[in-house]
Structure 1
Amino acid sequence: MSNILKRQGVATRWRRLSEADVDKAEHLYAQGWSSARIADLLKVDPETVRLRLRKRGVQMRDPHWRETLQNTSS
């Protein structure tokens, strides 16, 4: 289906992340950015970011890690 859309010149809503995009995502994630925030910046689905980071071997944080940090520092 995607090949037919491409031949017809139809723009799709999704795009692939380049290696440079994944490099940037990995750097931002290490700085504390969430995968959702990175996805917004790169204009892709958060699951795409998460999957590409995991494929790179990035250890993913618990989604509630900030809340945990705040509760332990009180």
Structure 2
Amino acid sequence: MGIERIDGCIGCESCVLACPTDVLRINEKTKKAEIRYQQDCQVCYLCQQYCPVDAITITAGRVIPAITAW
């Protein structure tokens, strides 16, 4: 499944910057992170690791192999 939800976001953009596949974006109205492209989540946990307030919940039900550059 990947990123399940974001609760308690403070809008620091750390998760957006950490995501290698641009799954997360900052909502211009609320100034908080939102899940924009959930189907592209690679379940790498980087967004969760970089979130300073532990606002991101990830479910590892569907794991997509990470895309690497050669």
TM-score normalised by the chain length of structure 1: 0.29
TM-score normalised by the chain length of structure 2: 0.30
Higher helix share: 1
